[in-house]
Amino acid sequence: MKSAVIVFPGSNCDRDMAVALEKVTGKKPEMVWHQSADFEKVDFIALPGGFSYGDYLRCGAMSARSTVMKEVIKRAEAGVPVLGVCNGFQVLTETGLLPGALMRNASLHFVCRDVELEVVNDASLFTNGYTAGSNITIPVAHHDGNYYADKETLDALEGEGQVAFRYAEDINGAQRRIAGVLNKKGNVLGMMPHPERMIEPALGGSDGRILFESVMNRLG
């Protein structure tokens, strides 16, 4: 499985994502700079966390309009799996690849801690190693993770199995405690929690590793 990590100016979890992908796939991912109009053919694209372009506008709004994202959108629409974590999730909603928006946390504070997640969908490309209904532990670190969409959209997401993860308790005010969302086709996942930070016991656990292994199992 060949993967790429997109790097925007201000991305800061790009190395962590690359480390996780290399640990699981055995191959160093391609690091793709935001100005690249084109990049090598890959099986998997990751949009890492951070503060792309400083996030001085709405989080992810600038990145969603960057050169590289035009290509990422094209590939996502063609079916290439795309994972957006934290700032990456914000970028995905800003591009319209995923529905909804991520607003400032209800507490108005940045929150960094381990959270319990309920696995809602265990059939997707990204989540097939988990068991629906079980709880996993993955950390969050964000200021704007309060997922919002209108009622019809939320109902549709739930109805179509597009909610991948739900917070076991409210941590940021997200509608229906939604922590991760899939697109309709199931090849794009956006999530606020950081699976790349939970890939070995020394870091507090390995629950995040299963996500990458799930992708690896499907894509080989």
Partner 1 sequence: MTDTKITPEIVRDHGLTPKEYDLILKGLGREPNLTELGIYSVMWSEHCSYKSSKIHLKKLPTKAPWVICGPGENAGVIDIGDGQAAIFKMESHNHPSFIEPYQGAATGVGGILRDVFTMGARPVANMNALRFGEPDHPKTRHLVAGVVSGIGGYGNCVGVPTVGGETNFDPSYNGNILVNAMTVGLADAEKIFYSAAAGVGNPVVYVGSKTGRDGIHGATMASAEFTDDSEEKRPTVQVGDPFTEKLLIEACLELMATDAIVAIQDMGAAGLTSSSVEMASKGGVGFELILDNVPQREENMLPYEMMLSESQERMLMVLKPGREEMAKAIFEKWELDFAVIGHITDTGNLTLKFKGETVGDIPLNTLVDDAPEYDRPHTATPKRKAVDVEAPKDLKKAVMDLIGGPNLCSRRWIWSQYDHMVMGDTIQRPGGDAAVVRVHGTEKALAISTDVTPRYCYADPVEGGKQAVAETWRNITATGGLPLAITNCLNFGNPERPEIMGQIVGCLEGMAEACVALDYPIVSGNVSLYNETNGKGILPTPAIGGVGILKQSKHMATVPFKGDGQVIMLFGETKNELGASLYQREILKKDEGLPPVVDLAVERRNGDFVRALIENGQLTTVHDLSDGGLIAALADMAISGKTGATITLDDSLPLHVHLFSESQSRYLIAAEPDEAETIRQEARDAGLAVAVLGTTGGDSITVNGGALDLPLAALTAAHEGWFPAFMKNEL
Contact indicator for 151, 100 with CB cutoff of 8 Å: no
Query: Which residues share a beta bridge with 83?
Result: 46, 189
Query: Which residues share a beta bridge with 141?
Result: 112
Query: Which residues share a beta bridge with 101?
Result: 148
Q: Which tokens belong to 136?
A: 């996993």
Q: Which is nearer to partner 1, 24 or 163 (CB)?
A: 24
Shortest CA distance to 81 belongs to which of 100, 95, 97, 67?
A: 97
The residues binding partner 1 (CB under 8 A) are 9-10, 12-13, 15-16, 19-20, 49-51, 53-56, 109-113, 139, 141, 143, 194, 196-197, 199, 202-204
Q: Which is nearer to partner 1, 9 or 173 (CB)?
A: 9
In whole angstroms, the minimum distance from the beta carbon of 209 to partner 1 comes to: 12
Q: Which is nearer to partner 1, 11 or 187 (CB)?
A: 11
Shortest CA distance to 84 belongs to which of 54, 120, 59, 121?
A: 59
> What is the DSSP code (8-state) at residue 29?
P
Rounded to the nearest 10 degrees, the angle between the axes of helix 14-25 and helix 209-219 is 50
Active site (catalytic) residues: 86, 194, 196
Nearest-angstrom CA–CA distance, 207 and 195: 7
Q: Which is nearer to partner 1, 16 or 207 (CB)?
A: 16
In whole angstroms, the minimum distance from the beta carbon of 213 to partner 1 comes to: 17
In whole angstroms, the minimum distance from the beta carbon of 10 to partner 1 comes to: 5
In whole angstroms, the minimum distance from the beta carbon of 54 to partner 1 comes to: 3
